[in-house]
Amino acid sequence: MNGTDVKRADSPSASILTLALPKGRLFEQGVDLLARAGLRVHLPEKSRALRHRFVQEDGEVVLLELRNSDVPTYVDLGVADAGMVGKDVLMEAGRDVYEPLDLGFAPCRLSLIRERGATSPILRVASKYERLTAQFLRDRGLAAEVVKLSGNIELAALTGLADAVVDIVQTGSTLQANNLEEIETIMHSSARFVVNRTALKLKRERLRPLIDRLRDLVERTSTTG
Ligand SMILES: Nc1ncnc2c1ncn2[C@@H]1O[C@H](COP(=O)(O)OP(=O)(O)OP(=O)(O)O)[C@@H](O)[C@H]1O
Ligand SMILES: O=P(O)(O)OC[C@H]1O[C@H](OP(=O)(O)OP(=O)(O)O)[C@H](O)[C@@H]1O
């Protein structure tokens, strides 16, 4: 460590590690994984608080509770030093963040979905994943319109709002319950650990050991099942 690094590590901002976690599906597992990786964090009491501070031996960890799709923005713009986010959402965001780790949990796939047996031409496709859908259609040479929706996407295919939808399939129970069919898998997804590129340099002493411990945990889980 040179003189500059010593100063950085001692500066107030270097002693705070800010992590962006999506509320919803990934939050509990994300906090649990961070705790198992040695951070003194725990699930916060139920409240409307969106920012949670935890004192550590080497400073402080701040957890920001965000919408899934906002995690890449907070990490890319450096407000959060690192975070956890689904690969699907990360690809959709198209942000330039460092992605050192596949955390393995929250597996699912992004797929093109239609009503079972539908044969009409695909002229309009609805999705929350507007960019990935447009890219997929371009790759297939399909000139369909993309309609951005915010939730219960499958309903668009059932009501005729769209000829097909692009959405997440996990267990397949939503497809089954609505007489829908998965036509093509566009990508597989799982939760990723993402890091701001500048923070990786400036807060190296805190981020590198965390990444290493998370990697150990993920590898141990994948070998023990
Ligand atoms: N059944 C599932 N449905 C949706 N996402 C899933 C599912 N299983 C795993 N995931 C993964 O979990 C991530 C978070 O899902 P979650 O439902 O919490 O947020 P979201 O629907 O993307 O965001 P928001 O509700 O804030 O719009 C997804 O981006 C995806 O990678
Ligand atoms: O294959 P399955 O296990 O049924 O999971 C897939 C469903 O889960 C998600 O919806 P979610 O409940 O997150 O609601 P949303 O449509 O508002 O995102 C996703 O959008 C699918 O509808």
Cα–Cα distance measured from residue 88 to residue 75, given in angstroms and rounded to the nearest whole number: 16
Interface predicted TM-score (ipTM) of this complex, two decimals: 0.95
* Residue 11's pLDDT band (cuts 50, 70, 90): low
26 lines ligand 1 (CB under 6 A): yes
- Domain ranges in the chain are 16-106+190-223, 108-188
- For ligand 1, atom 20, name the residue with the nearest CA: 68
> Residue 68: what pLDDT?
94
> Residue 5: what pLDDT?
37
> Residue 46: what pLDDT?
87
Say which CATH architecture domain 108-188 belongs to: 3-Layer(aba) Sandwich (3.40)
Please give the number of the atom of ligand 2 that sits closest to the Cα of 168.
Answer: 19
- For ligand 2, atom 12, name the residue with the nearest CA: 152
Cross-strand bridge partners of residue 127: 148, 166
What tokens were used for 2? 């040179």
153 lines ligand 1 (CB under 6 A): no
198-216 pLDDT, tens per residue?
999 999 999 999 999 999 9
Which ligand is nearest to the Cα of residue 167, counting in written order?
Answer: 2
* Residue 121's pLDDT band (cuts 50, 70, 90): very high
| Long-range contact pairs involving 154-160 (C-beta distance under 8 Å, separation at least 24) | 154/113, 154/178, 154/180, 156/126, 157/113, 157/114, 157/115, 157/118, 157/126, 158/115
> Residue 223: what pLDDT?
79
Count of positions (residues) in the chain: 225
Amino acid at 217: L
* Residue 14's pLDDT band (cuts 50, 70, 90): low
> Residue 17: what pLDDT?
98
What 3-state class would DSSP assign to 115?
Answer: strand
Q: Full-prediction pTM beyond 0.90?
A: yes
Which ligand is nearest to the Cα of residue 88, counting in written order?
Answer: 1
> Residue 125: what pLDDT?
98
pLDDT reading at 222 higher than 90 = no
Question: For domain 16-106+190-223, which CATH number applies: 3.40.250.10, 3.40.190.10, 3.40.50.1820, 1.10.540.10?
Answer: 3.40.190.10
Mean pLDDT of all residues belonging to the chain? 93
